[in-house]
Structure formats: structure tokens, C-alpha cells
Structure 1
Amino acid sequence: MRLPYELSLADAARAIAARELSPVDLTDSALERIAEVEGDLGAYVTVCADEARKAAAQAERDIAAGRHRGPLHGIPMTLKDLIDAAGLPTTASSRVRAHHTARKDSIVAARLRSAGAVLLGKTHTHEFAYGLTTPQTRNAWAADRVAGGSSGGSAVAVAAGEATFALGTDTGGSIRVPSALNGVVGLKPTYGLVPVDGVTPLSWSLDHVGPITRTVRDAELVLAALTGHHPTEGPARTDESLAGLRVAVPRTYYFDRVAPEVEVAVRRAIGQLASLGAELTEIDIPMTEYVQATQWGVMVPEATAAHEQTLRTSPELYGPDVRVLLEAGGLVPATDYLRAQRARTLMQGAWARLFDEVDLIAAPTVPCTAVHRDQQEVSWPATGGTESVSDAYVRLSAPANLTGLPSLSLPVGLDGAGLPIGMQLIGRALGEATLLRAGRAYETAHPPVTLLGPEAGHRTPASTPVAPSTPPADATILR
């Protein structure tokens, strides 16, 4: 029998609605789990146990009185520490914000509170979301590996059973990267669909807020609340079909410089989408040579502008990796920023034309699984060269930020070291329903054995490790 903290959001919601599970018992289970594993994982900045227990008790009273607000009512969750919740610090995992306390809820926190969700606390981010590793936090599957970032604390909390769901932010992959590396589901919605009011910015024209969950169905429920809708929990689907869905498989970019086991697992998952009725077609991804320059050309000056005052008055409070990026942003000419925005506009148009012919794109979320915590570079011997870990992790996720298109990452297997592999589905603007439909169908056909990472409790892996007999010789990871 599963403990309460092990339940998916949908399963917990059904149990609460049926009066088989108390929100108090569920919240206590999550808090006990935090006490058990947090010292090893470092997912949380702040845990507000007393407030969470009070909220859970109120949820229990409301539900007993017939005031059930829906599937999020009484569900324990956490917020990335860029997202304001009234009365709690928003530190952005930085000494710069050490004394900051939010005066009111961000819009997303207010919507989750209105839906009855129980806030457990705030989770670590790479400082000001300006990085892809979240060094304070350890991977839920292997403590010697990076958690991914910048929403590393949120992903690890969900993967380890320290929260039933979490919110993260995504500027170049910061929801999807840690989700892929920790074997959970991460959804970056269409740009602007989920409000960012009350969320500490990194890059205003690239920032998104979205859910990190254990299942695709859970992500669907949280997204409904974040967009101001009323999520509903219907009967479990057992006959998911993708008949007529046009799934594009990239010939270019997304399978270049990708670890063999990642490629094999993702291509296998794409084949399974076809077995569910999807129609596969190959496409060329446009303007790939401009992705990195455009991402950095937009993000870096926007981030520096957001930090202009504190960078001038308190530069010593920033970590060295973030400080150098912020200082570099001050050297970017306005003409370069405008060129990057122009390239982005052209890219958005080219991608929009892709979706005249297909319904979604399926590809790896990241090119390699979680690297060792002290590793700095990834090597690609087949093409000759290396790239930094951050550049490797952002490379396949950045296009969805530049175009503003929705992107869903879901786990599709493990590599030979037992580390999770993620597949990314990208859809047309406001096409979240299509992404979630495809993700649910895959998940229904291939349910995980467990929803938790083994590092926190040494549990059975979620699926069989991928061990290709004849892998493409494209990459090895430096050890």
C-alpha cells in the first residue's frame, strides 16, 4: 500500500473526494517526508509546516461541510522561490534578496490558494533562475548528479515525494530541464497564458510559469487552476488514442549532439506514439543556426536591466557565475538586442508555418542525462568538440521559449546508469490540450512502476534502463 506522499495529484484528489484520505494526513505525510530526506536533497529554502497544517485542517473542514473546491483542494504543493506568497520570503536563492518578504500573493499563488492547495514552502532555484544546475539541490535519482535548473528544487521536491506538485519558471528550459533529469513531468505553457505578476523576472520576454508534477494528468489539473479555470477530475482514461494526430520528428537540430541512450529512448517513445495511432512525419527545424545567439542576445540584456540597481549597489552579494553574466549584459549594445529580437520574430513566423502541417513536434528534452555535480563540459566526439553543461541543457529547450510555444517534458526511460530520460513535445500556440492528450496517451500505455526517484528512499526505478545494442555513436559524457 502506498503512503499518502507517494500518490499522484489525481489519485490523492480522488481519495480526498471519496473521504478515503484526509488533507491533514496527506500534508502530514509530505512534511514527514521532507523531514526524512531534505537533509540529503536540499530542495527547500523555506518550509512552513505550521501554516501548511492549518491550511490542511481548514481544507478538511471545508470539504466535510460540502465546500469542495475541486481536485487541488487539500493537496500539498510548493513554489519555486521566485514566486511571491504573502508573508513569506522570496529570496530567489540569493543573498541579494535575503531580507525580502512578499506583501501579497503572486497571481499564480492566489489562484492555487483559491483552488484550495496547501503551500508547504518555497524551493531552491539557481540564483535568480540564471543557470541550469541549481547547485544547492541534489538530484532525486543520484545525489552525486546535478538536479538541473533553474527550477531544480521544485523538480526534486516532486520527484522525492516532498510535495505532490510544484510550480517552476522557465526562461530557457528551467521547468523542463530539471523535470527531465529527475523523472517527472514539466509543462511550459504558451507565453502569456499563465500570468507572471508577482514572479521575480529573469528575462521578461522569455519568462514562463508552469507546473511540475508526477503525471501528465496532474499537469493538466494544475494548468487549469493556473489559467483561472476550474479543473475537474473525471474517470481515468483507459482507451487513449492518437488517431489522426500528426507528430513531427526533426531531421535537424534535435537529434544532433545527443547521447546515444537518450536518442534510443526518445525514438522508441515516438514509435510508441505511432502505435497509439499518431501519424509520423519528418521535418527540418528552421533557423537552427540562430538559436543560441538569439537566446543569449535577448536574455542577457533583459536580465541585466532587471538587476541594474542592485548590480550597481551590491554586486558582491551575487554568486560569481551569475554576477559575470549580469555584468556581461551591460556590454551588449542596443543594436545587438534589437537584432536578436528581429531574429526571434523571424523564427516565430517560421515555426508557426511548421504547425500548418503538423500538430506537435517530438524530440529529446535534453541531450544527456544528469551529469556529475562537478562536471563542467559535455563532449561530442562524433562531431568534434565540447560545450558547457549549461549550453548543452539549454540547447534543445530554448526554441520553445524563443517562439513562445507550449512544451511538455515527460519521462520515457532510464539510461544505463539508471538516470531518467525525458521526451519533449512542442505544440502550436495555445495548443496545450494537444500536448496533454499525447502525453496522457503515452503515460496510459506505459505507466511508471513508481513515481518517486530512488535516491530519496532507494525505490525501484520507474522503468527499465535503456541499453541499446547498437547505439548511434554520437556522444560520450565526460566523467
Structure 2
Amino acid sequence: MSDLNKLGLAEARDALRKGDVTSVELTESCLKAIDDADALNAFVHKTPEIALERAKAADERIKGGDAPAMCGLPIGIKDLFCTKGVPSQAASKILEGFKPEYESTVSQQLADAGAVMLGKLNMDEFAMGSSNETSVYGNAVSPWRRGNDDAQLTPGGSSGGSASAVAADLCLAATGTDTGGSIRQPAAFTGITGIKPTYGRCSRWGIVAFASSLDQAGPMTKNVRDAAIMLEAMCGHDPKDSTSTELAVPNFEAMLTGDIKGKKIGIPKEYRMDGMPAEIEKLWSEGAEMLKAAGAEIVDISLPHTKYALPAYYVIAPAEASSNLARYDGVRYGRRAQLSQGDGITEMYEKTRAEGFGHEVQRRVMVGTYVLSAGFYDAYYNRARRVRTLIKKDFEDVFAAGVDAILTPATPSASFGLGEMTEADPVQMYLNDVFTVTVNLAGLPGVSVPAGLDKQGLPLGLQLIGRPWEEGDLLNTAYALENAAGFVAKPGKWW
């Protein structure tokens, strides 16, 4: 079999079980694709020795007949996950040289399931960004192009390296994290599937924290079936994470019947934004028609506090970030600035953070420190927390009324060019998260499914939001949408 790196997880798993291919062959195919794709800057720490060692072990395990679904499948790991003995920098200069002595729970679970780690993937620094332009490694680049235009496009953020690698077939799937849309937005921009599970479904232990009440890991894959397979391996209770839930993890793949007859799908009127591109509006309507044709009932719903979601998110997330990032001070690990004679500990902190953190991280730390300060705590942070409760209640009311899932656009536009959204107005960049942040604020599961192309030939995604803990049901609805949309476009190889 040629082009083994182009397989999805399910196809590769079935081929491995039949003996048509070995994990070593799969892994070597991906490693070659990675070496040929430096122009995408997706993989930032390559681990070919670890990959081949795990692939050989997986082949032995498959021969033994007791291999889990993920066994032998080559994947990429976002640089936010701590991986033992492998650089884990969160794409920041301040963590230069940091090689953890431990493994994050999610990457450990994937390793235990026999998955093969190919290396670490590019991302926005500390997961703060929507375009993968804040990374110490430089920009990740989308494998997609606009028509005959050579302009480099963003793969989205913060999981931009993961999205680019999966879309370009450098790996079969990848891990991502989602604090305000960082799995779903890049998935939509690159024509792949990405699911953020319910908050507490995946352990956060060993994942570098951005905003602890919002962060959640999830898979980024080539289709919905692959997302179901990988999500099952990533989930489960972890006593090391106090927010991890003790719930049995179902067989998500077995729940993919494609039958959604009688399901109620809500269309929130508040998501019809001023200035929304006609193509996004059209795709949304077509998505609703597809689900209706599959037997679902489409109902109009209201989520009245949606308009406060972005401002609330951009108070809560920086507040938590300013607290979480206080640990990076140059004392015990990571980078320490060169000090002048007479410098004390305060100067060390100041110099280390000034040169270690990028502009976007510094901006969010400053905003977070400001909203938590004595005079503004009630005016900003407490008010944002109250708004968050109202947003959560909006969803609870809709689900209590019998709605099974909510259909929205995933992003307000297709992918844009690197450098097109300047630092001069960061709010423009923040608006990219307009359809995704509500899901994190309410702790709900959300999935992005590629559903069409815009007039320039770039992918557009639709988002489905589900009831808490019902990822299986949500993935089944996504599966029905995927089947109806029939999206099969791939980027033309230019790299």
C-alpha cells in the first residue's frame, strides 16, 4: 500500500488487524511526510526514535491479539502536553529547554493504548491565539491555498500545528486543546474534524494550563469515526485532576449509527451576526436542511446572553492565565534572563518574563492582573462570572425543552492570510472565537465538521453543540451531518 500516511485511524486500524500493513510501515510513511513538509512548520520537535520504538512494540502487541483500537496508529501531540524526556515548551521562549520528568495523563493514556507519538506540534504561545502567529517556533502554515494565490494562510489557533499536520496527512490524527475554540476553529479552517468534549471528560493533568476552568483536551482527526475512536482513548477519570469526572467512558464508535430520526436540532437566532459572510449563512442553512432530510426536527431557539460571551470570556480567561502563568519566573526551570551586577530577585523576575513571554501572552497577563486587582475585581471578574452562569443557564433551558443538539457556524470566516490581522487591533482576532467561546463557558461538548468550500476553495465548518456528557450522541449527529455533506476536498500539495 502506498501513501499510508493518507489513511485515517479507522482504515489504518483495520489494515493493521488484517495484517495488510505494519505499524512500522505506517510510521515510516508519516515520518517521511513530516520531513518533506518543513514548509508547514507543523512539527516542531520530531521524535522518530520514540516513534519507531513504539511502532515495533505495537506490531508485537497486535500479533498477540489483545491490541486496543489506537494500537500502532501514528499521531502528533500538541506542544502543550508534557511528554517525558521530550521538549514541552507550550511554544514559549520562557520554557526553553524544559524536558518534563513526567507524562501528561492524556498522552500517557494514548501511549498505553499503543498509539505512536511522531513528535510535538506547533501552537500559539501558551494556547493564546487564533492564528498560530504567537509561537516561539514561528507561524504554522495551512496546507490550503486560495485559488492560485501563493499567500500563506493560517491553519487557525491555538492548535494550528495539529490542524495543519492532520490536513496535510503528516499524521493520522493529533491531540489538541480547546479553551475558547482552539480545536474547533482550526479544524474548520483546515477541513478536518475536531471535538472538544465536556469539561471534565479528559484529564487536564500534565497539560500546561492557560485558563483552568475552560481548558479541555480533545482529538483532531480526518473524520467523525476517527474522532470517536481517539476520544475514547483520551477520556477517563484521573484522580490527579480534581475536575476530572468519574463517569464510564462509552464506546463512542459503536454509537455511530447515522440515525438521527426524531432528534431536535436547535438553531440559535443570536448567532446570526451582523456582517456574517453570505457563504457562512448559506452553509448554515444547508446544514440545517441536511439534518432535516436525515429525519431530525429543526427548531428555532434563543440563547439570549450570547452577546455577552466574548467580553465575559476575555475577562475570565486572562484572569485565570495571569494566575497560572505566575509560576514562570526563571527560578526552578525554563529560561532565566542574564542578570546585571546588583540585580535582585525582583529584577530577575522582571527581565525573565519580559524576554520570555511574547506580546500576546504579556497582554493577556496584564489584562488578567488588572481585572483581578482590588478596585476592579467586582466590576469585571465577578460580573463576568455571573454572566457565565447566565450563559450556562441559557443552554440548560434549551436542553430541558427537549433540544438534543444545537447547530451553528464554526467560524465567522474561512481561513485568512498570515499577517492579515495585524497586532494593531487584537480585538479583530478575538472576534474569531465568537461562535465557540460559549461552549467553553458552559462546559459543553462541541464538534466542528467540514461541510463545504467557499468561493476561493477554502474549507468551511459547521459546529454542533451537545448536552453535557453526551459526546456519543453528539458524534452520531455529526456523523449524519458528515455523511450528508460529503466533504472530501483535500489541499493541493505545494510544500
Q: Same fold (TM over 0.5)?
A: yes
Q: Conserved in 2, the CA contact under 8 Å of 1:222 and 1:231?
A: no
Q: Percent identity?
A: 34
Instruction: State the match for 2:173 in structure 1.
Output: 165
Contact 1:286–1:351 (CA<8 Å) still a contact in 2? no
Q: Give the Cα separation in 2 of the matches to 1:49 and 1:266.
A: 42
Alignment correspondent of 1:48: 47
CA–CA distance in 2 between the matches of 1:40 and 1:199? Answer: 27
Map of 1:150 onto structure 2: 158
Give CA deviations for 1:332-377 in whole Å, capped at 9, x if unaligned: 1332212211211122122111111211110100010011112127
Contact 2:162 2:176 in 1 (8 A): yes
One-letter amino acid matched to 1:59: A
Q: Is the 8 A contact 2:290 2:485 kept in 1?
A: no
Contact 2:252–2:472 (CA<8 Å) still a contact in 1?
A: no
Separation in 1, partners of 2:217, 2:252: 21
The SS at the match of 2:119 is: strand
Shift of 1:122: 0.6
- Cα shift at 1:264: 1.1
Q: Please tell me whether residue 412 in structure 1 is matched to residue 411 in structure 2.
A: no
Is the partner of 2:370 in helix, strand or coil?
Answer: coil
- Give the conservation status (yes or no) of the 8 Å contact 2:192–2:222: yes
2:395 alignment counterpart: 351
- 1:453 alignment partner in structure 2: 491
Residue 394 (str. 1) matches residue 452 (str. 2): no
Partners of 2:71 and 2:43 in 1: CA distance: 22
Aligned to 1:269: 287
**Separation in 1, partners of 2:492, 2:100:** 35
Contact 2:8 2:222 in 1 (8 A): yes
Once the two structures are superposed, residues 357-415 of structure 1 have per-residue CA deviations (whole angstroms, 9 ceiling, x without a partner) of 2111101000100111121279xxxxxxx984422211111000100110000100010
* Rounded Cα–Cα distance in structure 2 between residues aligned with 1:253 and 1:207: 23
For 2:127, the equivalent position in structure 1 comes to 129
Paired residues of 2:452 and 2:487 also in contact (CA < 8 A): no
- Residue 2 to residue 15, structure 1, CA distance change in 2 (3 Å): same
Q: Contact between 1:225 and 1:231, CA under 8 Å: does it hold in 2? A: no
CA distance in 2, matches of 1:362, 1:255: 15
Q: Give the counterpart of 2:480 among 425, 441, 444.
A: 441
CA distance in 1, matches of 2:84, 2:396: 39
317-326 vs 419-428, which moves further: 317-326
Aligned partners of 2:315 and 2:367 also within 8 Å: no
SS class of match (2:153): coil
Q: Which residue of structure 2 lines up, in the alignment, with residue 468 of structure 1?
A: none
Match in the other structure for 1:370 = 415
TM-score, normalised relative to structure 2: 0.86
Q: What's the counterpart of residue 86 of structure 1? A: 84
Code of the residue aligned with 2:481 in structure 1: it is: Y
Using the TM superposition, give the Cα deviation of residue 298 of structure 1 relative to its aligned residue in structure 2, in angstroms: 0.6
Aligned to 2:463, the other structure's residue is in SS state strand
Runs of 5+ unmatched residues, structure 2? 134-138, 146-150, 237-248, 330-348
Range with bigger deviation, 147-156 or 287-296: 287-296
Partner SS state of residue 252, structure 1:
helix
AA of the residue aligned to 1:349:
K
Which one-letter code corresponds to 1:292 in the other structure? L
Q: Which residue of 1 aligns with 2:11?
A: 11
Partners of 2:481 and 2:406 in 1: how far apart? Answer: 15
Q: Which residue of 2 aligns with 1:334?
A: 377
Check the 8 A contact 1:71/1:231 in 2, yes or no. no
2:468 to 422, 426, 429: 429
Number of the residue aligned with 1:28: 28
Report deviation, 1:436. Answer: 0.4
What SS is found at the alignment partner of 1:375?
coil
Matches within 5 A, 1:169-318: 169-228=177-236, 229=249, 240-310=258-328, 312-313=349-350, 314=352, 315-318=354-357
Paired with 1:160 and 1:318, the residues of 2 have a C-alpha distance of 30
Q: Distance in 2 between matches of 1:351 and 1:175?
A: 21
Q: 2:34 corresponds to which letter in structure 1?
A: I
- Other structure's SS at 1:330 match: helix
Partner letter of residue 30 of structure 2?
A
Cα pair distance change 1:377/1:91, threshold 3 Å: closer
Q: 2:186 and 2:253 mapped to 1: Cα distance?
A: 27
Query: How far apart, CA to CA, are the structure 1 residues paired with 2:96 and 2:493?
Result: 30
* 1:139 correspondence with 2:111: no
Post-superposition Cα deviations, 1:127-161, rounded to whole Å, max 9, x if no partner, equal: 01011110210112126111110000011111111
* Superposed displacement of residue 233, structure 1: 6.4
Cα distance, 1:233–1:307 mapped onto 2, change above 3 Å: closer
Question: What's the offset of the Cα at 1:42?
Answer: 0.5
Cα deviation per residue 1:143-181 (whole Å; 9 max; x = unaligned)? 611111000001111111111111111111001111100
Cα distance, 1:53 vs. partner?
Answer: 0.8
Residues of 2 paired with 1:271 and 1:112: CA distance? 37
Moved more, 218-227 or 342-351: 342-351
Give me the whole-angstrom Cα distance separating, in 2, the residues matched to 1:265 and 1:2.
35
Cα distance between partner residues in 2 of 1:339 and 1:397: 21
What is the deviation of 1:253? 2.4
Q: Does the 8 A contact of 1:134 with 1:150 survive in 2?
A: yes
1:82: Cα distance to partner? 0.6
Could you say what the CA RMSD is over the residues aligned between the two structures, in angstroms? 2.0
CA distance 1:159–1:304, change in 2 (3 Å): same
Change (3 A) 1:233 1:406: closer
Q: Which moved further from structure 2: 330-339 or 175-184? A: 330-339
Post-superposition Cα deviations, 1:89-118, rounded to whole Å, max 9, x if no partner, equal: 110111100121111111101110111100
Contact 2:76 2:118 in 1 (8 A): yes
Given that residues 71 and 232 in structure 1 are in contact (C-alpha distance below 8 angstroms), is that contact kept between their aligned partners in structure 2?
A: no
For residues 216-271 of structure 1, what are the alpha-carbon distances to aligned partners after superposition, in whole Å with 9 as ceiling and x for unaligned? 1111111111114585866x97x722101100112222454321112212221221
Judge conservation of contact 1:159–1:182 (CA < 8 Å) in 2.
yes
Provide the C-alpha distance between the structure 1 equivalents of 2:258 and 2:303, rounded to a whole number of angstroms.
29
Equivalent in the alignment of 1:477: none
Paired residues in the alignment total 445
Q: 1:321 aligns with which of 344, 355, 360?
A: 360
Secondary structure at 2:89's aligned position in 1?
A: coil
